[in-house]
Structure 1
Amino acid sequence: MTHSQAPLTLVVWSDYVCPFCYLEVPELDVLADRFGPQLNIEWRAFELRPAPVPTLDPDGDYLHDIWARAVYPMARERNMTLRLPSLQPRSRLAHEAAKWTMDHAAFPALHHELFRGFFEDSLDLASPDALIDTARRLGLDEGSLSRHLAEGRYRDAVLKDQQDASHWGLNGVPAMLLLREGEALDNIQGAQSRDHLIQTVARFI
Protein backbone atom coordinates (compact mmCIF):
# COMPACT_ATOMS: atom_id res chain seq x y z
CA MET A 1 0.00 0.00 0.00
CA THR A 2 1.43 3.36 -1.01
CA HIS A 3 1.34 6.41 1.23
CA SER A 4 -1.50 7.93 -0.81
CA GLN A 5 -3.52 4.70 -0.50
CA ALA A 6 -3.19 4.42 3.28
CA PRO A 7 -6.44 5.01 5.21
CA LEU A 8 -7.13 8.47 6.53
CA THR A 9 -7.67 9.18 10.20
CA LEU A 10 -10.00 11.94 11.32
CA VAL A 11 -9.22 12.84 14.92
CA VAL A 12 -12.18 14.62 16.52
CA TRP A 13 -11.85 16.62 19.73
CA SER A 14 -15.14 17.31 21.48
CA ASP A 15 -16.67 18.13 24.85
CA TYR A 16 -19.90 16.70 26.23
CA VAL A 17 -21.06 20.18 27.31
CA CYS A 18 -20.60 21.59 23.79
CA PRO A 19 -23.87 21.64 21.82
CA PHE A 20 -22.08 22.07 18.51
CA CYS A 21 -20.10 18.90 19.21
CA TYR A 22 -23.34 16.98 19.71
CA LEU A 23 -24.81 18.52 16.56
CA GLU A 24 -21.80 17.26 14.59
CA VAL A 25 -22.19 13.62 15.68
CA PRO A 26 -24.73 12.56 13.01
CA GLU A 27 -22.70 14.31 10.31
CA LEU A 28 -19.65 12.31 11.34
CA ASP A 29 -21.71 9.11 11.37
CA VAL A 30 -22.64 9.81 7.75
CA LEU A 31 -18.98 10.45 6.97
CA ALA A 32 -18.03 7.08 8.46
CA ASP A 33 -20.69 5.30 6.40
CA ARG A 34 -19.70 7.17 3.23
CA PHE A 35 -16.00 6.35 3.30
CA GLY A 36 -16.02 3.05 5.21
CA PRO A 37 -12.56 1.50 5.69
CA GLN A 38 -10.90 4.42 3.91
CA LEU A 39 -11.51 6.62 6.96
CA ASN A 40 -10.93 5.94 10.64
CA ILE A 41 -12.62 8.34 13.07
CA GLU A 42 -11.01 8.72 16.49
CA TRP A 43 -12.69 10.69 19.27
CA ARG A 44 -10.57 12.67 21.74
CA ALA A 45 -11.41 14.51 24.94
CA PHE A 46 -11.36 18.29 25.25
CA GLU A 47 -12.60 19.92 28.44
CA LEU A 48 -13.70 23.46 27.57
CA ARG A 49 -13.66 24.69 31.16
CA PRO A 50 -11.29 22.61 33.28
CA ALA A 51 -10.90 23.63 36.91
CA PRO A 52 -10.30 26.32 38.05
CA VAL A 53 -11.85 28.00 34.97
CA PRO A 54 -15.39 29.04 36.00
CA THR A 55 -18.26 27.17 34.37
CA LEU A 56 -20.94 29.11 32.53
CA ASP A 57 -24.05 30.41 34.26
CA PRO A 58 -26.90 28.19 32.99
CA ASP A 59 -29.29 31.13 33.36
CA GLY A 60 -26.93 33.75 31.97
CA ASP A 61 -27.54 35.88 28.90
CA TYR A 62 -24.59 34.37 27.02
CA LEU A 63 -26.03 30.87 26.83
CA HIS A 64 -29.57 32.00 26.12
CA ASP A 65 -28.33 34.24 23.32
CA ILE A 66 -26.09 31.70 21.60
CA TRP A 67 -28.73 29.00 21.83
CA ALA A 68 -31.35 31.28 20.30
CA ARG A 69 -29.02 32.51 17.54
CA ALA A 70 -27.15 29.33 16.64
CA VAL A 71 -27.92 26.14 18.56
CA TYR A 72 -31.68 25.89 18.11
CA PRO A 73 -31.58 26.84 14.39
CA MET A 74 -28.87 24.26 13.67
CA ALA A 75 -30.74 21.62 15.68
CA ARG A 76 -33.85 22.25 13.57
CA GLU A 77 -31.82 21.97 10.36
CA ARG A 78 -30.39 18.63 11.50
CA ASN A 79 -33.67 17.34 12.93
CA MET A 80 -32.21 16.95 16.42
CA THR A 81 -33.74 17.59 19.83
CA LEU A 82 -31.68 19.79 22.15
CA ARG A 83 -32.76 21.68 25.23
CA LEU A 84 -30.69 24.26 27.06
CA PRO A 85 -29.47 22.29 30.12
CA SER A 86 -30.43 23.52 33.57
CA LEU A 87 -26.85 23.06 34.80
CA GLN A 88 -23.34 23.57 33.44
CA PRO A 89 -21.14 20.90 35.04
CA ARG A 90 -17.48 20.19 34.53
CA SER A 91 -17.00 17.39 32.05
CA ARG A 92 -13.72 15.71 33.02
CA LEU A 93 -15.37 12.72 34.71
CA ALA A 94 -17.59 12.18 31.67
CA HIS A 95 -14.48 12.09 29.48
CA GLU A 96 -12.88 9.61 31.88
CA ALA A 97 -15.98 7.41 31.66
CA ALA A 98 -15.81 7.57 27.86
CA LYS A 99 -12.14 6.55 27.96
CA TRP A 100 -13.10 3.59 30.13
CA THR A 101 -15.57 2.39 27.49
CA MET A 102 -12.83 2.40 24.86
CA ASP A 103 -11.23 -0.48 26.78
CA HIS A 104 -14.58 -2.29 26.97
CA ALA A 105 -15.78 -2.01 23.35
CA ALA A 106 -18.68 0.16 24.46
CA PHE A 107 -17.65 3.66 23.44
CA PRO A 108 -20.34 4.47 20.83
CA ALA A 109 -23.25 3.71 23.17
CA LEU A 110 -21.98 5.72 26.15
CA HIS A 111 -20.63 8.51 23.94
CA HIS A 112 -24.06 9.08 22.42
CA GLU A 113 -25.88 8.71 25.73
CA LEU A 114 -23.70 11.27 27.49
CA PHE A 115 -24.44 13.81 24.78
CA ARG A 116 -28.13 12.93 24.63
CA GLY A 117 -28.52 12.82 28.40
CA PHE A 118 -26.97 16.25 28.89
CA PHE A 119 -28.72 18.03 26.03
CA GLU A 120 -32.13 16.43 26.49
CA ASP A 121 -32.33 15.60 30.21
CA SER A 122 -29.71 17.88 31.85
CA LEU A 123 -27.65 14.87 32.96
CA ASP A 124 -25.09 15.93 35.58
CA LEU A 125 -21.87 14.97 33.82
CA ALA A 126 -19.81 15.81 36.91
CA SER A 127 -21.66 13.30 39.10
CA PRO A 128 -20.07 9.85 39.42
CA ASP A 129 -23.45 8.45 40.46
CA ALA A 130 -25.11 9.83 37.32
CA LEU A 131 -22.37 8.42 35.10
CA ILE A 132 -22.49 5.03 36.78
CA ASP A 133 -26.28 4.93 36.51
CA THR A 134 -25.99 5.72 32.81
CA ALA A 135 -23.53 2.86 32.36
CA ARG A 136 -25.86 0.52 34.26
CA ARG A 137 -28.79 1.40 32.00
CA LEU A 138 -26.62 0.55 29.00
CA GLY A 139 -25.77 -2.85 30.47
CA LEU A 140 -22.14 -1.96 31.20
CA ASP A 141 -20.06 -3.04 34.19
CA GLU A 142 -20.97 -0.33 36.68
CA GLY A 143 -18.63 -1.69 39.34
CA SER A 144 -15.63 -1.45 37.05
CA LEU A 145 -16.54 2.08 35.98
CA SER A 146 -17.06 3.14 39.60
CA ARG A 147 -13.61 1.88 40.59
CA HIS A 148 -11.89 3.50 37.63
CA LEU A 149 -13.54 6.86 38.23
CA ALA A 150 -12.70 6.77 41.94
CA GLU A 151 -9.07 5.95 41.18
CA GLY A 152 -8.76 8.48 38.37
CA ARG A 153 -7.41 5.72 36.16
CA TYR A 154 -8.12 7.59 32.91
CA ARG A 155 -7.36 11.12 34.08
CA ASP A 156 -3.96 11.23 32.41
CA ALA A 157 -5.43 9.99 29.13
CA VAL A 158 -7.96 12.83 29.16
CA LEU A 159 -5.24 15.38 29.89
CA LYS A 160 -3.07 13.91 27.12
CA ASP A 161 -5.88 14.45 24.60
CA GLN A 162 -6.08 18.09 25.66
CA GLN A 163 -2.32 18.49 25.32
CA ASP A 164 -2.40 16.94 21.85
CA ALA A 165 -5.02 19.46 20.78
CA SER A 166 -2.78 22.29 21.97
CA HIS A 167 0.15 20.76 20.09
CA TRP A 168 -1.83 21.00 16.86
CA GLY A 169 -2.97 24.56 17.62
CA LEU A 170 -6.57 23.58 18.35
CA ASN A 171 -8.11 25.59 21.19
CA GLY A 172 -11.85 25.03 20.81
CA VAL A 173 -14.32 22.34 19.84
CA PRO A 174 -15.51 20.70 17.75
CA ALA A 175 -12.11 20.47 16.12
CA MET A 176 -10.94 17.85 13.65
CA LEU A 177 -7.54 16.92 12.28
CA LEU A 178 -7.21 14.84 9.13
CA LEU A 179 -4.12 12.63 9.15
CA ARG A 180 -2.50 10.01 6.98
CA GLU A 181 0.16 7.90 8.67
CA GLY A 182 0.69 10.64 11.25
CA GLU A 183 1.04 13.46 8.71
CA ALA A 184 -1.44 16.31 9.11
CA LEU A 185 -3.32 17.00 5.88
CA ASP A 186 -6.00 19.47 6.98
CA ASN A 187 -7.87 20.69 10.03
CA ILE A 188 -11.52 21.57 10.44
CA GLN A 189 -12.70 23.80 13.27
CA GLY A 190 -16.27 24.40 14.34
CA ALA A 191 -19.46 22.58 13.38
CA GLN A 192 -19.50 21.98 9.63
CA SER A 193 -22.07 20.89 7.10
CA ARG A 194 -22.16 17.33 5.85
CA ASP A 195 -21.18 18.45 2.34
CA HIS A 196 -18.15 20.35 3.61
CA LEU A 197 -16.94 17.35 5.61
CA ILE A 198 -17.40 14.99 2.67
CA GLN A 199 -15.62 17.33 0.26
CA THR A 200 -12.71 17.83 2.65
CA VAL A 201 -12.14 14.10 3.14
CA ALA A 202 -12.72 13.27 -0.54
CA ARG A 203 -9.84 15.56 -1.55
CA PHE A 204 -7.40 13.15 0.05
CA ILE A 205 -8.96 9.77 -0.77
Structure 2
Amino acid sequence: MSDVTNSPAPIRIDVWSDIACPWCYIGKRNLENGLAAVAADEDAPQVEITYHSFELSPDTPIDFDGSSADFLAQHKGISPDQAQEMNDRVAQIAEQQAGLHYRFDLQQHTNTVKAHELTHFAKEHGKQVEMTERLMSAYFVEGRHVGRIDDLVELAEEVGLDASAARDVLDNDHYLPDVRQDQAQARAFGISGVPFFVIDGKYGVSGAQPPEAFTQVARQVWAEHRADS
Protein backbone atom coordinates (compact mmCIF):
# COMPACT_ATOMS: atom_id res chain seq x y z
CA MET A 1 0.00 0.00 0.00
CA SER A 2 1.35 3.42 -0.95
CA ASP A 3 2.12 5.97 1.74
CA VAL A 4 -0.47 8.72 1.28
CA THR A 5 1.60 11.10 3.38
CA ASN A 6 4.33 11.02 0.73
CA SER A 7 2.04 11.68 -2.22
CA PRO A 8 3.31 14.67 -4.20
CA ALA A 9 1.33 17.88 -4.29
CA PRO A 10 -0.73 18.25 -7.49
CA ILE A 11 0.71 20.11 -10.44
CA ARG A 12 -0.81 23.59 -10.49
CA ILE A 13 -1.68 24.95 -13.92
CA ASP A 14 -2.84 28.56 -14.12
CA VAL A 15 -4.31 29.52 -17.49
CA TRP A 16 -4.75 33.09 -18.65
CA SER A 17 -7.31 33.29 -21.43
CA ASP A 18 -10.18 35.30 -22.89
CA ILE A 19 -13.63 33.90 -23.64
CA ALA A 20 -13.46 35.61 -27.07
CA CYS A 21 -10.03 34.25 -28.02
CA PRO A 22 -10.28 31.44 -30.60
CA TRP A 23 -6.79 30.17 -29.80
CA CYS A 24 -7.71 29.99 -26.10
CA TYR A 25 -10.47 27.47 -26.74
CA ILE A 26 -8.11 25.44 -28.93
CA GLY A 27 -5.48 25.68 -26.21
CA LYS A 28 -7.98 24.58 -23.56
CA ARG A 29 -8.92 21.49 -25.55
CA ASN A 30 -5.27 20.69 -26.33
CA LEU A 31 -4.42 20.95 -22.63
CA GLU A 32 -7.27 18.59 -21.75
CA ASN A 33 -6.27 16.12 -24.45
CA GLY A 34 -2.64 16.28 -23.40
CA LEU A 35 -3.52 15.55 -19.79
CA ALA A 36 -5.88 12.75 -20.84
CA ALA A 37 -2.90 11.03 -22.44
CA VAL A 38 -1.09 10.81 -19.09
CA ALA A 39 -4.17 9.79 -17.09
CA ALA A 40 -3.47 6.15 -17.96
CA ASP A 41 0.13 6.31 -16.71
CA GLU A 42 0.90 3.95 -13.86
CA ASP A 43 1.91 7.01 -11.86
CA ALA A 44 -0.55 9.49 -13.36
CA PRO A 45 0.11 13.14 -12.55
CA GLN A 46 -2.42 14.90 -10.35
CA VAL A 47 -3.33 18.31 -11.76
CA GLU A 48 -5.28 21.33 -10.57
CA ILE A 49 -6.32 23.85 -13.26
CA THR A 50 -7.38 27.44 -12.58
CA TYR A 51 -8.50 29.87 -15.27
CA HIS A 52 -7.63 33.55 -15.05
CA SER A 53 -9.11 36.56 -16.79
CA PHE A 54 -7.50 38.36 -19.73
CA GLU A 55 -9.34 40.83 -21.98
CA LEU A 56 -7.94 41.04 -25.49
CA SER A 57 -10.27 43.89 -26.51
CA PRO A 58 -11.63 45.59 -23.39
CA ASP A 59 -13.04 48.48 -25.45
CA THR A 60 -15.42 46.17 -27.36
CA PRO A 61 -19.07 47.23 -26.92
CA ILE A 62 -21.58 44.81 -25.42
CA ASP A 63 -23.43 44.76 -28.74
CA PHE A 64 -21.02 45.06 -31.66
CA ASP A 65 -22.79 46.03 -34.87
CA GLY A 66 -21.24 43.84 -37.53
CA SER A 67 -19.96 40.39 -38.40
CA SER A 68 -16.99 38.54 -36.96
CA ALA A 69 -14.96 39.50 -40.05
CA ASP A 70 -16.01 43.15 -39.62
CA PHE A 71 -14.77 43.14 -36.04
CA LEU A 72 -11.47 41.51 -36.94
CA ALA A 73 -10.92 43.90 -39.84
CA GLN A 74 -11.46 46.91 -37.59
CA HIS A 75 -9.41 45.50 -34.73
CA LYS A 76 -6.46 44.40 -36.87
CA GLY A 77 -6.63 47.18 -39.46
CA ILE A 78 -7.00 44.72 -42.35
CA SER A 79 -9.52 44.23 -45.13
CA PRO A 80 -12.74 42.23 -44.56
CA ASP A 81 -11.48 39.65 -47.07
CA GLN A 82 -8.25 39.21 -45.12
CA ALA A 83 -10.23 38.95 -41.91
CA GLN A 84 -12.44 36.27 -43.43
CA GLU A 85 -9.38 34.33 -44.55
CA MET A 86 -7.98 34.50 -41.01
CA ASN A 87 -11.26 33.22 -39.55
CA ASP A 88 -11.40 30.40 -42.09
CA ARG A 89 -7.86 29.36 -41.22
CA VAL A 90 -8.52 29.38 -37.47
CA ALA A 91 -11.76 27.44 -37.96
CA GLN A 92 -9.88 24.80 -39.96
CA ILE A 93 -7.22 24.46 -37.25
CA ALA A 94 -9.86 24.27 -34.52
CA GLU A 95 -11.63 21.47 -36.39
CA GLN A 96 -8.53 19.48 -37.33
CA GLN A 97 -6.49 19.87 -34.16
CA ALA A 98 -9.08 20.18 -31.40
CA GLY A 99 -12.32 18.80 -32.82
CA LEU A 100 -14.07 22.16 -32.38
CA HIS A 101 -16.56 23.29 -35.00
CA TYR A 102 -16.30 27.10 -34.95
CA ARG A 103 -19.20 29.09 -36.42
CA PHE A 104 -17.78 32.54 -37.10
CA ASP A 105 -20.83 33.21 -39.29
CA LEU A 106 -23.01 33.08 -36.15
CA GLN A 107 -20.63 34.82 -33.77
CA GLN A 108 -21.85 37.81 -31.76
CA HIS A 109 -18.86 39.91 -30.74
CA THR A 110 -19.18 41.45 -27.31
CA ASN A 111 -17.33 42.75 -24.29
CA THR A 112 -16.21 39.80 -22.16
CA VAL A 113 -15.72 41.41 -18.73
CA LYS A 114 -19.06 40.11 -17.39
CA ALA A 115 -18.29 36.62 -18.68
CA HIS A 116 -15.01 36.77 -16.76
CA GLU A 117 -16.84 37.88 -13.63
CA LEU A 118 -19.10 34.86 -14.07
CA THR A 119 -16.13 32.47 -14.19
CA HIS A 120 -14.97 33.82 -10.84
CA PHE A 121 -18.45 33.28 -9.39
CA ALA A 122 -18.36 29.73 -10.80
CA LYS A 123 -14.93 29.17 -9.23
CA GLU A 124 -16.37 29.96 -5.80
CA HIS A 125 -18.87 27.15 -6.39
CA GLY A 126 -16.43 24.60 -7.81
CA LYS A 127 -17.60 24.92 -11.41
CA GLN A 128 -15.05 27.21 -13.03
CA VAL A 129 -13.81 24.71 -15.62
CA GLU A 130 -17.39 23.82 -16.59
CA MET A 131 -18.37 27.48 -16.82
CA THR A 132 -15.36 28.37 -18.96
CA GLU A 133 -16.13 25.50 -21.31
CA ARG A 134 -19.80 26.50 -21.52
CA LEU A 135 -18.99 30.12 -22.33
CA MET A 136 -16.46 29.26 -25.02
CA SER A 137 -18.76 26.71 -26.63
CA ALA A 138 -21.66 29.16 -26.55
CA TYR A 139 -19.55 31.86 -28.16
CA PHE A 140 -17.58 29.96 -30.79
CA VAL A 141 -19.81 27.00 -31.63
CA GLU A 142 -23.38 28.10 -30.94
CA GLY A 143 -23.30 31.81 -31.77
CA ARG A 144 -24.82 32.78 -28.43
CA HIS A 145 -24.37 36.17 -26.78
CA VAL A 146 -21.95 36.07 -23.84
CA GLY A 147 -21.89 39.74 -22.89
CA ARG A 148 -25.42 40.46 -21.62
CA ILE A 149 -26.37 39.55 -18.08
CA ASP A 150 -29.61 37.79 -19.07
CA ASP A 151 -27.72 35.49 -21.45
CA LEU A 152 -24.94 34.85 -18.93
CA VAL A 153 -27.43 33.92 -16.23
CA GLU A 154 -28.96 31.33 -18.58
CA LEU A 155 -25.54 29.83 -19.25
CA ALA A 156 -24.74 29.80 -15.53
CA GLU A 157 -27.93 27.90 -14.85
CA GLU A 158 -27.02 25.37 -17.56
CA VAL A 159 -23.92 24.32 -15.60
CA GLY A 160 -25.85 24.03 -12.35
CA LEU A 161 -25.26 27.44 -10.79
CA ASP A 162 -28.00 29.36 -9.02
CA ALA A 163 -29.53 31.83 -11.47
CA SER A 164 -30.61 34.47 -8.96
CA ALA A 165 -27.23 34.43 -7.24
CA ALA A 166 -25.45 34.72 -10.59
CA ARG A 167 -27.63 37.68 -11.57
CA ASP A 168 -26.98 39.39 -8.26
CA VAL A 169 -23.18 39.18 -8.47
CA LEU A 170 -23.18 40.29 -12.12
CA ASP A 171 -25.50 43.22 -11.44
CA ASN A 172 -23.28 44.37 -8.59
CA ASP A 173 -19.84 43.84 -10.20
CA HIS A 174 -19.04 41.63 -7.22
CA TYR A 175 -16.20 39.77 -8.93
CA LEU A 176 -14.85 42.66 -10.99
CA PRO A 177 -11.95 43.17 -8.52
CA ASP A 178 -10.98 39.51 -9.05
CA VAL A 179 -10.94 40.05 -12.82
CA ARG A 180 -8.72 43.11 -12.37
CA GLN A 181 -6.42 41.17 -10.04
CA ASP A 182 -5.98 38.47 -12.68
CA GLN A 183 -5.13 41.13 -15.24
CA ALA A 184 -2.63 42.76 -12.87
CA GLN A 185 -0.98 39.38 -12.30
CA ALA A 186 -0.76 38.86 -16.06
CA ARG A 187 1.07 42.18 -16.38
CA ALA A 188 3.40 41.22 -13.53
CA PHE A 189 4.24 37.97 -15.35
CA GLY A 190 4.77 39.89 -18.59
CA ILE A 191 1.89 38.10 -20.32
CA SER A 192 0.89 40.05 -23.43
CA GLY A 193 -1.00 37.37 -25.34
CA VAL A 194 -3.19 34.41 -24.57
CA PRO A 195 -3.56 31.56 -24.01
CA PHE A 196 -0.71 31.51 -21.53
CA PHE A 197 -0.11 28.61 -19.15
CA VAL A 198 1.90 28.93 -15.93
CA ILE A 199 2.99 25.60 -14.44
CA ASP A 200 3.61 25.56 -10.69
CA GLY A 201 4.24 29.30 -10.79
CA LYS A 202 7.61 28.81 -12.48
CA TYR A 203 7.23 27.43 -16.02
CA GLY A 204 5.50 29.42 -18.76
CA VAL A 205 3.94 27.90 -21.86
CA SER A 206 2.71 30.38 -24.46
CA GLY A 207 0.09 29.76 -27.13
CA ALA A 208 -2.15 26.88 -28.16
CA GLN A 209 0.54 24.22 -28.04
CA PRO A 210 -0.27 20.70 -29.34
CA PRO A 211 -1.51 18.12 -26.83
CA GLU A 212 1.86 16.35 -26.89
CA ALA A 213 3.55 19.42 -25.43
CA PHE A 214 1.24 19.37 -22.42
CA THR A 215 1.71 15.62 -22.04
CA GLN A 216 5.47 16.08 -21.95
CA VAL A 217 5.46 18.95 -19.47
CA ALA A 218 3.01 17.12 -17.17
CA ARG A 219 5.27 14.08 -17.00
CA GLN A 220 8.38 16.20 -16.51
CA VAL A 221 6.92 18.33 -13.73
CA TRP A 222 5.31 15.31 -12.03
CA ALA A 223 8.72 13.63 -11.94
CA GLU A 224 10.05 16.76 -10.22
CA HIS A 225 7.22 16.55 -7.69
CA ARG A 226 8.04 12.89 -7.08
CA ALA A 227 11.70 13.72 -6.51
CA ASP A 228 10.79 16.44 -4.00
CA SER A 229 8.21 14.40 -2.06
Aligned to 1:127: 148
Residues 41-95 of structure 1 deviation map (CA, whole Å, 9 limit, x = unaligned): 2211111111379979623325422222233233223222111143211101001
TM-score using structure 2 length = 0.77
Residue type of the alignment partner of 1:187: G
Alignment CA distance shift 1:67-1:135 (3 Å): same
Q: How does 1:22-33 map to 2 (within 5 A)?
A: 22-33=25-36
Matched, 1:101 2:122: yes
Matched residues in 1 for 2:33 and 2:112: separation? 26
How far does residue 37 in structure 1 lie from its aligned partner after superposition? 5.1
Residue type of the alignment partner of 1:47: E
Matched residues in 1 for 2:33 and 2:60: separation? 37
Q: How does 1:156-195 map to 2 (within 5 A)?
A: 156-179=177-200, 182=201, 184=202, 186-195=203-212
Count the aligned residue pairs: 199
Name which of 216, 219, 222 aligns with 1:199. 216
Residue type of the alignment partner of 1:40: E
Identity %: 24
Residues 116-148 of structure 1 deviation map (CA, whole Å, 9 limit, x = unaligned): 100112221110010011123333211000000
How far does residue 112 in structure 1 lie from its aligned partner after superposition? 1.2
Aligned to 1:80: 100
Are the aligned partners of 1:27 and 1:193 in contact in 2 as well (CA < 8 Å)?
A: yes
Alignment CA distance shift 1:48-1:57 (3 Å): farther
Q: Which runs of 5+ in 1 are unaligned?
A: none
Residue type of the alignment partner of 2:16: W
Matched, 1:70 2:78: no
Are the aligned partners of 2:52 and 2:182 in contact in 1 as well (CA < 8 Å)?
A: yes
Matched residues in 2 for 1:63 and 1:173: separation? 19
Matched residues in 1 for 2:173 and 2:208: separation? 31
TM-score using structure 1 length = 0.85
- The alignment's C-alpha RMSD in Å is 2.5
- Between structure 1 and structure 2, the one with the greater Rg is 2
Are the aligned partners of 1:13 and 1:46 in contact in 2 as well (CA < 8 Å)?
A: yes
Q: Which runs of 5+ in 2 are unaligned?
A: 71-79, 223-229
Are the aligned partners of 2:61 and 2:110 in contact in 1 as well (CA < 8 Å)?
A: no
